């Protein structure tokens, strides 16, 4: 059953998409950065969860606008409104993208191969260049390797430290590749397919960066399966994806790719520790 929409969120969604059929509204099951109110076939309304969203949301809107203008061969959500304030909350509406995500462990390599190719070949427009961060391993104490090596590893139980350091060394030893458009949260509910199994669209570009395409490959593999990735890409990208995932889990890297210190380092370390323990089981 679709999650019911709380009255306060529904009021915001109705204000941003006037005339939308309220009886169809439902709350998306996934949404780390936003509450997402869905009007199927019409629009989606993304409502900030945190006080800091008033500063971050304009950039997220512009990222979606720039991605929509990049000419990708599949649908992406286009902003329908600017950022709108409702008391302490901020929100914006985006266009609807048909299709559905696939359950964990499911996926056809033939459906993902065109997605990887499209992202790899996407033109990096001036707008994307200005908006998207290129993660650096060392950057005055806030590069991703700085944070993992100096703040995360020492906080881990001793039994995990050597393994994580080895994984970090493997990532750092990867040969540099040209930075391309990387979604940063690819897979699961963010990649929509039609009933015929063909790719329709990709949602939620908030974590997009300019970096190694193998990062997206690793994200797809952790949800859909490594065999899916192996069949959808070349061996070089596959091995790079393994390296990006091996140290702390690729899904955690977005926290250190932003070029800023991790705000809740103890919680971040706990999430990584849970991933390490789950991998061991």
Q: Report which of 200, 54, 28, 181 is spatially closest to residue 114, judged by C-alpha positions.
A: 200
Q: Is there a single domain that holds both residue 130 and residue 241?
A: yes
Per-residue pLDDT at 1: 56
- Interval 206-265: pLDDT, tens: 999 999 999 999 999 999 999 999 999 999 999 999 999 999 999 999 999 988 899 899
Count up the domains in the chain and report the number: 2
84 located within any domain: yes
Q: Report which of 74, 116, 102, 117 is spatially closest to residue 223, judged by C-alpha positions.
A: 102
Q: Is there a single domain that holds both residue 218 and residue 140?
A: yes
191 located within any domain: yes
Instruction: Please say whether the beta carbons of 277 and 159 come within 8 A.
Output: no
Give the CATH number, domain containing residue 239.
Answer: 3.90.1200.10
Q: Is there a single domain that holds both residue 162 and residue 272?
A: yes
168 located within any domain: yes
Q: Is there a single domain that holds both residue 242 and residue 173?
A: yes
Residue ending a domain, choose from 47, 66, 95 = 95
Tokens 């995990």 map to which residue?
Answer: 160
**What sign for the dihedral angle of Cα 250, 251, 253, 259?**
positive
Helix axes 158-172, 235-246, angle to 10 degrees: 150
Q: Give dist(CA 153, CA 143) in Å, integer.
A: 15
102 located within any domain: no
Domain hosting residue 35, numbered range: 7-95
Per-residue pLDDT at 125: 96
Predicted TM-score (pTM) of the model is 0.95
Q: Give dist(CA 92, CA 230) in Å, integer.
A: 37
SS3 of residue 219 by DSSP: helix
Tokens 């969860």 map to which residue?
Answer: 49
Q: Is there a single domain that holds both residue 66 and residue 118?
A: no
Per-residue pLDDT at 49: 87
103 located within any domain: no
Per-residue pLDDT at 31: 64
**Residue stretches of the chain with pLDDT short of 70:** 1-3, 30-32
Per-residue pLDDT at 50: 81
31 located within any domain: yes
Give the CATH number, domain containing residue 38.
Answer: 3.30.200.20
Q: Is there a single domain that holds both residue 241 and residue 128?
A: yes
Quick one: tokens of 199? 């790719």
């Amino acid at each position: 059953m679709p999650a019911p929409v709380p009255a306060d969120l529904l009021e915001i969604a109705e204000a941003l998409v006037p005339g939308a059929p309220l009886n169809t509204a439902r709350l998306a099951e996934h949404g780390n950065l936003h509450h997402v109110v869905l009007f199927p076939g019409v629009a989606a309304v993304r409502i900030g969860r945190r006080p800091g969203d008033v500063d971050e949301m304009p950039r997220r809107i512009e990222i979606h606008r720039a991605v929509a203008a990049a000419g990708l061969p599949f649908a992406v959500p286009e902003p329908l409104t600017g950022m709108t304030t409702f008391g302490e909350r901020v929100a914006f509406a985006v266009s609807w993208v048909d299709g559905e995500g696939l359950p964990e462990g499911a996926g056809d390599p033939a459906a993902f191969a065109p997605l990887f190719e499209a992202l790899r070949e996407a033109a990096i427009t001036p707008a994307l260049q200005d908006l998207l961060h290129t993660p650096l391993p060392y950057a005055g104490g806030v590069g991703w390797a700085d944070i993992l090596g100096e703040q995360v590893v020492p906080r881990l139980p001793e039994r995990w430290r050597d393994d994580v350091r080895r994984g970090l060394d493997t990532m750092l030893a990867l040969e540099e590749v040209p930075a391309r458009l990387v979604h940063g949260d690819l897979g699961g509910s963010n990649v929509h397919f039609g009933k015929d199994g063909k790719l329709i669209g990709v949602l939620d570009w908030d974590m997009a960066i300019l970096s190694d395409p193998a990062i997206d490959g690793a994200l797809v593999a952790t949800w859909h399966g490594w065999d899916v990735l192996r069949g959808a890409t070349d061996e070089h990208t596959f091995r790079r994806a393994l390296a990006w995932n091996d140290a702390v889990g690729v899904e955690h890297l977005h926290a250190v790719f932003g070029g800023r210190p991790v705000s809740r380092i103890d919680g971040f370390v706990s999430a990584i520790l849970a991933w390490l323990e789950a991998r061991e089981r």
